[in-house]
Amino acid sequence: MKLRWLAAAMAAAVVGLSGTLAFSDSDREGREKGERGWLAGLAAPTGVKPVDNHLYAAECSSCHFAYQPGLLPEASWRELMANLSDHFGENAELTPETQKLLTDYLIQNAAEQDGGWLARDVLRDADKRTEPVIRITETAFFIHEHDELPQRVWRDNPKVGSMSNCSACHTKADNASFDEHQVSIPGVGRWED
């Protein structure tokens, strides 16, 4: 009986690891996320699930942090993905095929599907709105967590520049960990309130 458990555990480890490797093959962004992918699964309870789609990571992080799908509700992702030619002032057009694949991934992993406490906060915020929120930085929880930060440490900080630049300060953001203890603001250092 013990042996059977051991075998099952090993099989699970192999499956987990091969998933990681499959994801790590393609390019640097993929590798970075892949290395952390299986470790992230061990850290519970999570705020939001890590990105686990290579196409999404590669396409979106060409220009910016690859936000975890659980950070916005389904309706928000639908609206955002339908307007990529004016994506916060940038043209981010995709081929129809890629656009559909990424929209499907976002919807299948949106806040409603995520289950993490951060995703639930996002949904609570969405319940109070009549229109879907498009900017993660405008959700109530995000504002609550960041409103004490003076502009000099983010907007006027050439290494940060914007609140949308998660990984500038959240050193484990790529791993979907936004823990305050892991914050290090460039040129400022650790920040805990």
**Binding residues for another protein (CB under 8 A):** 61, 63-65, 85, 88-95, 158-162, 164-165, 168
Which two tokens mark 106?
């976002």
Which two tokens mark 80?
């955002």
CA–CA distance, 57 with 64 (Å, rounded to integer): 10
Instruction: Give the nearer residue to another protein in terms of CB position, either 38 or 65.
Output: 65
Smallest distance, another protein to C-beta of residue 124, A: 28
Is the CB of residue 77 less than 8 Å from the CB of residue 126?
no
Smallest distance, another protein to C-beta of residue 86, A: 8
Distances (CA, A) of 128 to 12, 69, 122, 143: 41, 20, 10, 15
Smallest distance, another protein to C-beta of residue 128, A: 28
Smallest distance, another protein to C-beta of residue 168, A: 8
Instruction: Give the nearer residue to another protein in terms of CB position, either 91 or 130.
Output: 91
Please name the residue that has the structure tokens 């953001």: 173
Instruction: Give the nearer residue to another protein in terms of CB position, either 88 or 117.
Output: 88
